[in-house]
C-alpha cells in the first residue's frame, strides 16, 4: 500500500520499538493460563456491571505466558463487531491484570500491537473471506489501519 502512513509500519525506528515491546511480552513471568478463554466460558453475575464470578472448562490449563489467554481468536465471529473497542478493552483488562500481579510493562500498547500483528498474520494466511471484513484484502487493510493508529 503506497503512502507515507504505511511507511510507519516498516521504518527501522518502528521495527526497533516493536521488537523491544515483543521481547518484553515474551519475558512476562509464566503463570497459570486457561488456554481456551472465550465468551462462553465466563459466569457473569450482572450483565450491566459485567461482574465476572467464574471461569469454566479448565481442560487446557497449563503454565505459560499470559499473553496466550488474552487473545480474541477463540471468541468466535461475533466478537469482531466490537473490534474498534479492542484497544480500550485490552488497556483496561491488562491494566488490572498487571496491577494485580505487580508487573510493570513499559507500555500496554505493545500488547495491542502484538495482537493486531497476530490478527494481520491470520488475515494474510487464511484462504477465505472474512464474514466481518469481506475479502482478505479488506481485512488486511482494516488491520493495517489499526496498526497505524498505534504507530502515530
Q: pLDDT tens for residues 37-70? A: 777 777 878 767 767 788 898 998 999 888 887 7
- Position of cell 481485512? 139
Q: Which long-range contacts (CB under 8 A, 24 or more apart) does 52-60 make?
A: 58/34, 59/35, 60/34, 60/35, 60/36
The predicted structure's pLDDT at residue 63: 93
Instruction: Tell me the pTM.
Output: 0.65
The predicted structure's pLDDT at residue 32: 92
Query: Can you tell me the distance from the alpha carbon of 26 to that of 28, in angstroms, rounded to the nearest whole number?
Result: 6
The predicted structure's pLDDT at residue 152: 40
- Which regions in the chain score pLDDT beneath 50? 1-2, 150-152
The predicted structure's pLDDT at residue 151: 44
The predicted structure's pLDDT at residue 34: 87
Query: Can you tell me the distance from the alpha carbon of 56 to that of 44, in angstroms, rounded to the nearest whole number?
Result: 11
The predicted structure's pLDDT at residue 47: 67
The predicted structure's pLDDT at residue 85: 77
Give the range of the structural domain holding residue 83, as residue numbers without chain letter.
4-151
Number of domains forming the structure of the chain? 1
Amino acid at each position: 500500500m503506497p503512502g507515507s502512513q504505511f511507511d510507519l509500519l516498516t521504518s527501522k525506528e518502528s521495527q526497533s520499538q516493536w521488537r523491544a515491546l515483543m521481547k518484553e511480552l515474551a519475558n512476562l513471568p509464566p503463570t497459570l493460563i486457561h488456554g481456551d478463554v472465550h465468551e462462553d466460558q465466563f459466569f457473569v453475575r450482572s450483565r450491566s456491571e459485567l461482574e465476572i464470578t467464574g471461569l469454566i472448562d479448565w481442560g487446557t490449563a497449563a503454565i505459560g505466558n499470559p499473553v496466550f489467554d488474552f487473545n480474541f481468536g477463540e471468541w468466535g465471529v461475533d466478537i469482531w463487531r466490537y473490534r474498534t473497542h479492542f484497544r480500550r478493552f485490552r488497556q483496561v483488562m491488562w491494566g488490572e491484570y498487571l496491577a494485580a500481579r505487580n508487573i510493570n510493562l513499559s507500555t500496554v500498547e505493545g500488547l495491542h500491537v502484538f495482537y493486531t500483528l497476530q490478527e494481520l498474520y491470520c488475515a494474510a494466511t487464511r484462504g477465505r473471506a472474512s464474514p466481518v471484513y469481506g475479502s482478505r484484502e479488506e481485512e488486511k487493510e482494516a488491520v493495517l489501519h489499526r496498526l497505524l493508529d498505534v504507530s502515530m
